[in-house]
Amino acid sequence: MKTQVLPIDEESLAEARRILLSGGCVAFPTETVYGLGADARSDSAVRTIYAVKGRPSDNPLIVHVHKEYDLDGLVFDTPFAKRLREVFLPGPLTLVYKSRGTVSSVVSCGLDTLAVRVPRHDGAQRFLRAVGIPVAAPSANRSKHVSPVTAEHVYTDLNGRIPLILDGGASEGGIESTVCDVTGEYPIILREGLVTREQIASVVGECGVWQGDQSAPVRSPGMKYKHYAPACETKLFPAAELEGAIACFGAEEKAGRRVLALCEHAACDSFPKGKALDLGDTAEMFAANLYRLLREAETRCDVLIAVEPRARGGAMAGVLNRLRKACGEGK
Ligand code: TXA
Ligand code: MG
């Protein structure tokens, strides 16, 4: 199959609509990462997503809709979910509701809930409006690889496997949406992201974070898998162990391996010139740069020495979650 990469215009949107309505997959930009979309109403279209990605069949998908779409046809609303929508959507927040069962049961892997997202990205909105149907979409990477934040990243992973990638430029958010369960008495974050616990609590008074207790039933099945890993070996150091990271860098170079460091701006000078990938100096910059730099690392080095940024609070929870998972922790 030939994979076209097209800018978003009337012609490419008409082509995207044609592909989706005939059961195929289209990659599209969002403000978090690129998505791989298919008709959420069709069992076979949704199965195609799993096949294209090589995704485990027990990891449910998010349904994407445009901002005027009426959610009442898809899910059972609650007063506090409505408040969260008013404040945060369109934007990088996914809400998990009780499902009305109107989309394919393959989307939620048989769960009685449905995750819904209304992306803010203009290209995503135009795509979703053009197709007019609920679109099931995971991140548009091969399963277990780093999520894509450019059309080129999608092409690297899925060339020959899908007919069309809509190119909407680099995703400015850079990490996947915050996933928040709204089926209970108060919201519970299942996956941290750029919309933070503090922000959600400030709107509805209370917000929990699911702790991934091994004995508890899995609330967000995707969280149990290793994700986001680059192809190179990775070694992660806590912020306080910069000296250890520098020593490790030296030892790896001495052993003849191609080494790069990944760290916040202030720590870049601790590594040889040109050998540090600069994450920037705020949580938002870390998020925006992380996946792009992980993908750069895998093409340029055998081993990546990553040092955690020192900042804590706010969006750092999501950033550290992704960085640690990329480096093989929290599987
Ligand atoms: O930013 C994003 O959310 C991107 C863009 C494309 O929208 N999408 C994305 O999808 O990250 P994916 O498939 O890579 O991650 C979906 C996450 C998984 O952790 C999955 O377990 C969780 O959402 N999820 C989906 N449906 C769920 C449900 N019904 N209950 C609990 N968790 C659910
Ligand atoms: Mg993903």
Distance, in Å, from the CA atom of 107 to the CA atom of 138, rounded to the nearest integer, reads: 10
Q: Is residue 112 part of a domain?
A: yes
Q: Quick check: 80 pLDDT over 70?
A: yes
Going from the Cα of 113 to the center of ligand 1, the distance in angstroms, rounded, reads 12
Same domain, 142 and 195: yes
Q: What is the CATH number of the domain that holds 170?
A: 3.90.870.10
Strand partners, 257: none
Confidence of residue 207 (pLDDT cuts 50, 70, 90): very high
Q: State the distance from the centre of ligand 2 to the C-alpha of 250, rounded, in angstroms.
A: 33
292 in any annotated domain: yes
Are 176 and 147 in contact, with CB atoms under 8 Å apart? yes
| Same-domain check for residues 30 and 140 | yes
- Please indicate, yes or no, whether residues 133 and 14 belong to a single structural domain of this protein: yes
65 and 127 share a domain? yes
pLDDT of 88 > 60? The answer is yes
Is 141's C-beta closer than 6 angstroms to any atom of ligand 1? no
Ligand index nearest the alpha carbon of residue 143: 2
Q: What's the structural domain count of the chain?
A: 2
Using the mean position of ligand 1's atoms as its centre, give its distance from the Cα of residue 69 in Å: 19
Q: Does 225 score more than 60 pLDDT?
A: no
Query: Of 159, 193, 209, which residue constitutes the final position of a domain?
Result: 209
Ligand 1 atom with the smallest distance to the CA of 32 is 1
Same domain, 189 and 279: no
pLDDT of 189 over the 80 cut: yes
Please check the confidence at residue 214 and state whether its pLDDT lies above 50.
Answer: no
> For residue 58, what pLDDT is reported?
87
Residue 223, domain member (yes or no): no
User: Is a pLDDT exceeding 50 seen at residue 306?
Assistant: yes
Q: Is the pLDDT of residue 217 over 70?
A: no
Ligand 2 centroid–CA 256 distance in Å is: 34
Closest CA to 289 of 249, 268, 319, 312: 319
Span from the CA of 138 to the centroid of ligand 2 (angstroms): 6
**Are both 82 and 198 inside the same structural domain?**
yes
- 68-86 b/e (C-beta count within 10 Å ≥ 16 → b): ebebeebbeebebbeebbe
Both 120 and 189 in a single domain? yes
Asked if residue 31 belongs to a domain, the reply is yes
Nearest CA owner, ligand 1 atom 19: 222
Q: Is residue 167 part of a domain?
A: yes
Q: Who wins on pLDDT, 217 or 260? A: 260
Average pLDDT of span 19-24: 98
Phi/psi at 267 (5° precision): -95, -10
Predicted confidence band of residue 228 (pLDDT cuts 50, 70, 90)? confident
Please indicate, yes or no, whether residues 72 and 188 belong to a single structural domain of this protein: yes
Ligand 1 and 108: CB distance under 6 A: yes
Residues 36-48: pLDDT tens digits? 999 999 999 999 9
- Nearest-ligand number for the alpha carbon of 144: 2
Q: Does residue 182 or residue 211 have the better pLDDT?
A: 182
Of the listed ranges 16-25, 56-65, 125-134, 169-178, the least confidently predicted one is 56-65
pLDDT above 70: residue 218 = no
Is 218 among the domain residues?
no
Please check whether residues 140 and 243 belong to one and the same domain: no
Q: Which of 156, 176, 209 is the last residue of a domain?
A: 209
Q: What is the pTM of this model?
A: 0.95
pLDDT in tens, 129-177: 999 999 999 999 999 999 999 999 999 999 999 999 999 999 999 999 9
| Mean pLDDT, all residues of the chain | 94
Residues 94 and 162 in one domain: yes
Q: Span 102-119, mean pLDDT?
A: 97
Confidence of residue 202 (pLDDT cuts 50, 70, 90): very high
Q: Taking residues 272-289, report their average pLDDT.
A: 97
Residue 205: domain span: 4-209
Q: Are residues 116 and 27 in the same domain?
A: yes
pLDDT of residue 69 exceeding 50 = yes
Q: Among the atoms of ligand 1, which is closest to the Cα of residue 107?
A: 26
Residue 227 has a CB neighbour count (10 Å cut-off) of: 23
Distance, CA of 111 to CA of 106 (rounded, Å): 9
Q: Which two tokens stand for residue 259?
A: 């080494």
Ligand 1 site-directed mutation target among 94, 106, 121, most atoms within 8 Å of CB: 94
Give the CATH number for residue 274.
3.40.50.11030
Q: For position 14, what pLDDT does the model report?
A: 98
> Rounded to the nearest 10 degrees, what angle do helices 10-21 and 122-131 cross at?
50
pLDDT bin (cut points 50, 70, 90) of residue 102 is very high
Pair (74, 162) in one structural domain: yes
Position 331 scores a pLDDT of 40
